[in-house]
Structure 1
Amino acid sequence: MLALAAFAVGAAKSGMPALGPIPAALFASVLPAKASTGAVLGLLLVGDLIAVRMYHAHADWKILRRLLPSVLVGILVGVVVLWAANDIVVRRIIGATLLVLVALSVLLMLRRRADAAAGREARPVPRALSWLFGPLGGFTTMIANAAGPVMSLYFVASRLPVQAILGTAAWFFLIVNTMKLPFSVGLGLITPESLLLNLLLVPALILGALGGRMAARRISQEWFERVVLVLTFASGVYLLW
């Protein structure tokens, strides 16, 4: 299951972002919930380096500079929760976070479908709600390493071109996951044992990165996203229960 999760990390970073929440669910199902967050983080950093190598030239740095300070607020809230909560509480928080991410992903899909049916460009998120994305993204990435749907909604709502979304997301997660690193070490979530586990799983991650890039060109993204949403929903319910 951990090798499958590592494969999903690689695929998510290389062109199939819908797989993003799956590794958090699998790791939290196999390992103690708090330890799972540190174990996933090591793999995500490897995946981020691969994504930046693929899409580094397309980032929108204006959006990144505006977003990162508020993301840090969410990360700090997540650090406090991880420090204060036990494994059972963290497992349930991860489960609830996955369900929230499913709801956001469904919202994004419905908006895309409505805009396509009306023959118009994607509508921006109301400005009054835009300040929520940074802290929410920071909290979800610190607690569950699963901020992909939150930030995808933000980037799409910012009306970025596809290549700019990929490049901006690649740099965003590399920077944010690097910011999380000292907190995870300080909380004892990243240990020599977790790094050894990461080393053993890197080959599966690389296979996922290669396979994800090829598969993204051949499969129906709409149906693939629906399957992933069902799996993520089931994972969230399982972790809550």
Structure 2
Amino acid sequence: MLDLTTEGWILAIIASIAVGLAKGGLAMVAMIAVPVLSLVMSPVQAAGLMLPVYVASDVGGLIAFRHHFDIGVLKTALPGAILGIGVGWAGAHLVPVWGVTLIVGLIGLIFSLNALIRPDPGKVTRKPSIRRGSFWGFLAGYTSFVSHAGAPPWQVYVQPLRMPALIFAGTTTWFFAICNWIKLIPYAALGQLSPAALTTAAVLTPVSLASVWVGLRLVKIMPEKLFYQFITWGLLLVSLRLIWQALGG
């Protein structure tokens, strides 16, 4: 088990709750997990610790959303995501984490500001596209591999599709669950899944699984318009935090 301080355990529990809420449908919440843990450990170690928690929590999310997802959207985005994970693995020792963090933050910032400024985003609806899905899926897979921060690129693609809240949440859960299972292979090959990290993750997993139910309840009772406002503002705040982190703030 990792030798964490009291502060480290508190932050690890917060990160685990965030992951569980995300798997329950509040996708953007999970983006705080690695940044929060990075306050007490390296981002690489934080990503390795949280991946098993993500994978275990995915099970709860997949059960919750087993009937609520859009297979067509997944088909357009997953091939690009798998390629992105592969590129991330190949360049794991070449690209600095701060650079990817900055790119992710800028993407999320631009998208969220656009969504908040345009007069009526509800009237702008797109259909799933192999071209857009492959591009944004690639970015989501790549940034997810580096720091579990694939939500902004993914959201840039799926939010204009204007899926119902449950379908949006379920499709997001399925997309990242598949990505996380695939990421186990390169993470293990790179030595990021140490016995100490796996043991610590096992302790944190029940907290995350319990939080899946909380997230699911929030998605079901939250009005759809408010839901999209919530994830847009969440994306904006997280993106600003990522930019600040990348620039050494």
Q: Give the match for residue 19 of structure 1.
A: 29
The superposition leaves residues 88-113 of structure 1 with CA deviations (integer Å, 9 ceiling, x where unpaired) of x32x1353144134325415633775
TM-score (norm 2): 0.80
Fraction of identical pairs, as percent:
23
Query: Residues 180-213 of structure 1: CA distance to partner in whole angstroms, max 9, x if unpaired?
Result: 1110000011111111111121232134223333
Deviation of residue 126 (structure 1)? 8.5
How many aligned positions are there?
234
Q: Check whether the contact 2:85–2:183 (CA below 8 A) recurs between aligned residues.
A: yes
Distance 2:247 2:234 in 1: 20
Partner of 1:200: 203
- The question of whether the paired residues in 1 share the 8 Å contact of 2:79 and 2:134 is answered with no
| 2:233 match | 226
The 5 A counterparts of 1:107-122 are 107=113, 109-110=115-116, 114-116=120-122, 120-122=123-125
Name the structure 1 match of 2:152: 149
Q: Which letter does structure 2 place at the counterpart of 1:93? A: G
Contact 1:22 1:232 in 2 (8 A): no
Residues 49-96 of structure 1 deviation map (CA, whole Å, 9 limit, x = unaligned): 1111111112322332332222122111211232335xxx32x13531
RMSD of aligned alpha carbons: 2.8
Distance 1:239 1:207 in 2: 32
Partner of 1:240 in structure 2? Answer: 247
- Where does residue 214 of structure 2 map in the other structure? 211
Partner of 1:175: 178
Question: What amino acid is aligned across from residue 198 of structure 1 in structure 2?
Answer: A
8 A contact 1:138–1:147 mirrored in 2: yes
Cα 1:124–1:109 change in 2 (3 A) is farther
**1:1-241 mapped onto 2 (5 Å cutoff):** 1-84=11-94, 89-90=96-97, 92-107=98-113, 109-110=115-116, 114-116=120-122, 120-123=123-126, 129-216=132-219, 217=221, 221=227, 222=229, 225-226=232-233, 229-241=236-248
Determine the C-alpha separation between the residues in 2 that align with 1:227 and 1:70: 25
Q: Deviations over 1:22-74 (max 9, x none)?
A: 11211233222222222121111122111111111123223323322221221
The residue matched to 2:60 in structure 1 has which SS? helix
| Residues 121 and 129 of structure 1: CA distance in aligned 2, closer, same or farther (over 3 Å) | closer
Give the direction of change, closer, same or farther, for the CA distance of 1:56–1:178 in structure 2 (3 Å limit): same
The answer as to whether partners of 2:20 and 2:211 remain within 8 angstroms in 1 is: yes
CA distance in 1, matches of 2:162, 2:235: 24
Show structure 1 runs of 4+ deviating over 6 A: 125-128
Q: Distance in 2 between matches of 1:228 and 1:62?
A: 24
- Structure 2: tracts of 5 or more residues without a match: 1-10
User: What amino acid maps onto 1:32 in structure 2?
Assistant: S
Letter in 2 for 1:73: L
On the 8 A contact 1:48/1:170 being kept in 2, the answer is yes
Q: 1:174 to 1:225 in 2, by over 3 A?
A: same
